[in-house]
Amino acid sequence: MSSTTEAITGGRLMVELLEEAGVEIVFGYPGGAILPFYDELYHSKKIKHILVRHEQGAVHMAEGYARSTGKLGVCIATSGPGATNLITGLTDAKLDSIPILAITGQVATDAIGTDAFQEADIFGITIPITKYNALIKKADDLARHFEEAIKIAMGGRPGPVLLDFPKDVQTQKTTVRKATSLKIAPHHYERPKVKGDPQEFAEVLNGAKRPLLYVGGGAINSFASAEIKALAEKANAPVTTTLMGLGAFPGTHPLSVGMLGMHGTAYANKAVLECDYILNLGARFDDRVAKYQDFAPNAIRAHVDIDAAEFNKRINVDHILHGDLKDAIREILPFVKGGDRSSWIENIQTLKKNHPLDYDNSGDSIKPQDFLQRVYARTKGEAIVSTDVGQHQMWAAQYYLFDRPNTWLTSGGLGTMGYGLPAAIGAKFGNPDKTVICVTGDGSFQMCIQELATIAQSKLGVKILLFNNNFLGMVRQWQELFYEERFSESQWTYNPDFVKLSEAYGIPAMKIEHKSEIEKGVDFFLKDSGSALIEVMIPAEEKVFPMIPAGKSQQDLIEFKDLGKLKK
């Protein structure tokens, strides 16, 4: 019998298929129902397994790895509670279109449906939060399901997939080691042809006097940065990005107007109001950006996306190109003309000058914006930055300028507290030579804090920048501005000693409270390639500006200088 037809166990085949797919690292946590697979993984020389402390950590690590490398992220959990701990991360990956393969163990096929020990219907549970999922009932189907799942995760608009493996399927023997045919239609994984008329599309752009490019996370997924830069420069059009699109266009480029949306720059949001043409490149008119149907009220709207379901979903558009962003821009480019847009560019420069990102840096307290600017300067903008969710996330988005794609890892769609630390760990495994910084807050940090052990165990050089205001800062900001300062349950009346905690995990740590300590703190934080935690005490009343209040539109933007007005 040749080696290709020799019968092997499902568990062995799972490992082989992962190896064949080029998977080098997986993040997981063993348990009874996934043990046959783990037993086979023990022998793998190609796959490194990272043992996490909680399955939520595993899936966020897979996300951080996937976002920073552009490769598939893989996480593994056992049945029941192990699998349900993946839910938040899978939902996160769905909303941010991150390619994740989740492998879960399941009770044996004859026990399914009997409320067996550690049984959960993870297939049913994850239907709405995965791009695709399947329960594999026999080892002969395994190869096909694997191939389909990986193709679906990576193809088209990427997303998370979950494969559920009953324990007996992992021990069953099979000779079917390759999929002979796939049951899913090719359009679910093949790169789609660009549909629409690129020439006509470009001509509308050519006719615009005040064009604005609006770049989303799709630009990162399609590796379209070079094309976007070429398009912006050829058309002489300013570029704003969404939170997810940061890094897809260089933040330091003269045509960059930074981020738009709820906490975007004032000039980006004002540019949206003034432009006469807005070209959405791989964004989805998310409600934190485009609140109302009158988004970009004076503009012709155009949209390029790989997902046809995004067209006219929230905001009606005038021109559509359907396809992969990189391909679509390449097809548009030959028809794009420069044109004189100097007055528009000048206008943008004036907006930038008159409405800069701003904060009050007088006094002795440390301002997070200041600290982030110094970290930016010290790292020359070359770090990979992950964040948790809240004020620190927005400050990082505003003050750390991202020049390259795949260097900004944040939970955009779902807003998942607890994302930052494991995402940074995943990114560091994928980019061992780069500086990886997790920017977090005292609230978010405590949601996946146990993954400090994963850093320690792997002697991983992850840097943790912890802004501590003893509050849920963003909640507090809303309560202060919109709930008459009723700080209902947003204050931490108990926080651990984060420095001691970090040191307990073997991670060097330091706390700073006064402005005079900033340089010392940055030195400590970035002095070598090892792990470090810096706890920066910041004023609880520090706020994120600009801000578009929830439910309002671009016209209602509040800048730092308007704060006095708002308080009345």
Which of 20, 24, 71, 118 does the annotation list as catalytic?
Answer: 118
Query: Residue 430: CB partners within 8 Å, gap ≥ 6?
Result: 25, 64, 65, 68, 69, 71
- Comparing CB distances to other proteins, the nearer of 229 and 313 is 313
Of residues 275 through 334, those in contact with other proteins by CB under 8 A are 307-309, 311-313
Q: Assess 114 for contact with other proteins (CB under 8 A).
A: no
Q: Which residues pair with 532 in a beta bridge?
A: 463
One of 148, 388, 442, 542 touching other proteins (CB under 8 A): 148
Binds other proteins (CB under 8 A): choice among 180, 185, 488, 565: 185
Q: What does the alpha-carbon distance between residue 561 and residue 258 come to, in Å, rounded to a whole number?
A: 19
Distance (Å, whole) CA 166 – CA 107: 5
What stretches of 195-326 adopt beta strand conformation (E)?
211-215, 239-241, 256-259, 277-281, 300-305, 319-322
Closest to other proteins by CB, 102 or 423: 102
Task: Tell me the closest approach of the beta carbon of residue 188 to other proteins, in angstroms.
Answer: 5
Q: Which is nearer to other proteins, 183 or 209 (CB)?
A: 183
Half-sphere exposure of 123 (CA within 13 A, CB side): 14
Please tell me whether residue 273 binds other proteins under the rule CB under 8 A.
no
474 is catalytic: yes
Under the binding rule (CB under 8 A), the answer on residue 201 touching other proteins is no
Question: Rounded to the nearest whole angstrom, what is the least distance from the CB of residue 27 to other proteins in the complex?
Answer: 25
- Out of 108, 184, 230, 273, name the contact with other proteins by CB under 8 A: 184
Q: By C-beta, is 47 or 182 nearer to other proteins? A: 182
To the nearest 10°, report the CA torsion of 85, 89, 90, 95: 150
| H-run or E-run covering 513 | none
Choose between 134 and 169: whose C-beta lies nearer to other proteins.
134
Asked whether position 377 contacts other proteins by CB under 8 A, the answer is no
Q: How far is the CB of 20 from other proteins (least distance, A)?
A: 21
**Residues 328 and 194: beta-carbon distance below 8 Å:** yes
Phi, psi of 150 (to 5 degrees): -65, -40
Kindly identify the residues of this chain, within the stretch 472-501, that bind other proteins according to CB under 8 A: none
560 tagged catalytic: no
Residue among 40, 55, 147, 148 flagged as catalytic: 55
Smallest distance from other proteins to CB 33, Å: 19
CB of 185 to other proteins, least distance (A): 6
Which residue in 131, 167, 270, 326 is the catalytic one? 167
Decide if residue 127 touches other proteins (CB under 8 A): yes
Q: Measured from the CB of residue 281, what is the shortest distance to other proteins in angstroms?
A: 20
How far separated are the first and last CA of the chain, in Å rounded? 83
* Count of alpha carbons within 13 angstroms of residue 379, beta-carbon side: 27
Laid out side by side, the sheet with 408-409 consists of 408-409, 384-387, 436-441, 462-468, 532-537, 509-512
**What is the dihedral sign for C-alpha 38, 39, 41, 45?**
positive
For the question of residue 1 being annotated catalytic, the response is no
Counting contacts by CB under 8 A, is residue 140 touching other proteins? Answer: no
* Selected catalytic residue, list 154, 474, 537, 547: 474
Out of 134, 271, 384, 538, name the contact with other proteins by CB under 8 A: 134
Catalytic residue status for 259: no
Check if 545 is active-site.
no
From candidates 102, 135, 278, 544, binder to other proteins by CB under 8 A: 135
Which residue reads 């600017």 in tokens?
A: 373
Q: Which positions ≥6 away from 20 have C-beta within 8 Å?
A: none
Burial class (CB in 10 A: 0-12, 13-18, 19+), 437: buried
Residue 530 touches other proteins, criterion: CB under 8 A: no
For the chain, the C-alpha Rg in angstroms (whole number) is 24
> Does the footprint of other proteins cover residue 123 (CB under 8 A)?
yes
* CB of 128 vs other proteins, minimal distance in Å: 5
432 binding other proteins? (CB under 8 A):
no
Distance CA 434, CA 431 (A): 6
Using rule CB under 8 A, residue 193 touches other proteins: no
> Which are the catalytic amino acids?
55, 117-118, 167, 474
Q: Which residues bind other proteins (CB under 8 A)?
A: 123-124, 127-128, 131-132, 134-135, 148, 152, 183-185, 188, 307-309, 311-313
